[in-house]
Chains A and B, each alone.
Chain A
């Protein structure tokens, strides 16, 4: 498909389990963003990649959250030892945007994580 693809769409984890969420951005998009969206709230920025470089990880809530984009394309958001407060929709967006240029973000449909 031509859009941003995220998998899995739904994930249920027991508290303490590790999870990995995958994002396939639009081909050729340099920038990739991860956002966390709690129920009824707006998306909260987590981290930003330009190619394989993670330029901003200021939004990651704790050291249990880790994101990578090793080849500058597919990205994985990993959450270790999940807690109930991690339950949210995790949104990935890609863009041709480089720092200094304001391009539109293309979002995937998100991965809904429920931690029991």
Chain B
């Protein structure tokens, strides 16, 4: 079945440093979604990427979808303590599985003030 690998598992940064998490799917995706989960909380939708090579920005967050629609990345510029949490990518294979998301393992981000 479809697998979504996400690295790194953990990332510790000093406030102000940049952060990147990478996501790779074993199969071509219809779209990829990114979520943030704060400690003790539930996943909150951040963004969805659909087009090959798509790049979207949300303030300090930059999301990219690879040309082959199998990989994606989330980059945070100048991290802040409020960025702490686990970032998950989730791939949508489309077709008969449309709507079903396969989540990556998540990257736990810790930001030291």
Are chains A and B native binding partners rather than an unrelated pairing? no
